[in-house]
Amino acid sequence: MSVHVEQRGITVSTLKQMRQRGEKIACLTAYDASFAAVLDKAGIDVILIGDSLGMVIQGHETTVPVTIDDMIYHARAVARGSRRALRIVDMPFMSYSNPSQTIANAARLMQEGGAQVVKLEGGETQAEIVRHLAAQGVPVCAHLGLQPQSIHKLGGYRVQGRDEASARMMLDVASAVQTAGAEMLLLECVPAVLAAEITSKVNIPVIGIGAGAACDGQILVLHDILGVSVDRVPRFSRNFLHGANDIQDAVSKYVRAVKDRTFPAAEHSF
C-alpha cells in the first residue's frame, strides 16, 4: 500500500485530505516530550494529550480529578518534543460548562499549552459550545460515545449506542456538532456498524477507539499498546511492544497496522 508521508506539520486540513484519499489516520496519546518525540519519529499523525493522564500518569480511578493546569503542563511538554504530529488537547471535566469559561480555558490550552485542536466530550447540549469555539477560530474535536468524564453518571465503562434510540441520537448529535463547526469527531466504544454509519454521513474526519475499522483513523492510549497499563488492557487495544525491538518499533508497528487496515480487527470491535 502506498502511503503519502506529510513531511511538514500536520494540520486539520491534512487530516481532511487524508480522509478524502482514503488514507487511515494513526493517532496515539502522549503526555511528555520524550514520548512525543518517539511518536513523531514513528510517523504518528495525531498526538492526543488526553485527560486519560489522570489514570495512567496520576493514578486516579477516573479522569474527573484532572484540572486545566494539569492539561496545560502536559500539553506544553508534548509540544516541546513534537514537530510533525497534530496536537489535540482534552478540555477536562467542568472546564467547558458555559461559553465564557470554555473560551477562556481553550485560549489557555492554545496559548500556554500549544494545543492545535481542543477536544470536548458531550451530547446535543455541547453543539452550542462547539459553535462558540468555532466562531473564535478554535478548532474542535467532538467526543461522542463513551465519555469518561461522565463515568459516574453512566455507571461504568460501557459500550454506547447499542439500542436504536441511542444510536439515532448519536447520529443526530454527530450531525449537530459538525454543523456547529467541529473539525473532527472521536467515537469511543461504539458498535462498529453505528460508527461506520456516522463516518459515512459526516464529511469531517472520524477517529475511533473501540469503534471498528470503518472510521477514518484510530487512536489508542500509548500505555496500553506498550503493555504497561495499571489495569487490564481494554479489549479494543493490543500490545504492539510484543515482538518489537523497542518502543519506537512498537509505535511504528501500530502506525503500519492502522495504515494497512490490519488494526483494528474484529476482536477489537463491538
Higher pLDDT, 84 or 4: 84
**Residue-wise burial string across 179-210, b where 16 or more C-beta atoms lie within 10 A, e elsewhere:** ebbbbbbbbbbbbbebbbbbbeebebbbbbbb
Instruction: Using the predicted structure, report yes or no on whether residue 4 has a pLDDT greater than 70.
Output: no
Is residue 200 assigned to a domain? yes
For residue 173, being part of any structural domain is answered with: yes
Could you give the percent of the chain with pLDDT greater than 70?
94
The catalytic residues are 188
> Is the CB of residue 71 less than 8 Å from the CB of residue 113?
yes
Tell me, yes or no, whether 220 lies in a domain: yes
Give the long-range contacts of residues 152-161, CB within 8 A, separation 24 or more. 152/62, 152/64, 157/189, 158/189, 159/189, 159/190, 159/191, 159/210, 159/270, 160/188, 160/189, 160/190, 161/190, 161/191, 161/194
CA pair distance 6, 143, nearest whole angstrom:
25
Scored b (16 or more CB within 10 A) or e, 238-264 reads bebbeebeebeebbbbbbbbbbeeebb
Q: Has residue 39 been placed in a domain? A: yes
Instruction: Express each pLDDT in 54-106 by its tens digit.
Output: 999 999 999 999 999 999 999 999 999 999 999 999 999 999 999 999 999 99
Average pLDDT over all residues of the chain: 93
Confidence (pLDDT) at 213: 97
Q: Output the pTM of the full model.
A: 0.93
**Would 4 be classed as within a structural domain?**
no
- Inside any domain, residue 252: yes
Is 75 exposed, middle or buried, given 0-12, 13-18 or 19+ CB atoms closer than 10 A?
buried
In a domain, 5, yes or no: no
> What is the average pLDDT across 160-180?
94
Domain count, the chain: 1
Asked if residue 240 belongs to a domain, the reply is yes
Which domain does 196 fall in, by range?
12-268
Domain containing residue 18: CATH number: 3.20.20.60
What's the pLDDT score for residue 6?
Answer: 44
Beta bridge partners of residue 185, listed in sequence order: 142, 206
pLDDT digits (tens, 9 = 90+) for 111-127: 999 999 999 998 778 89
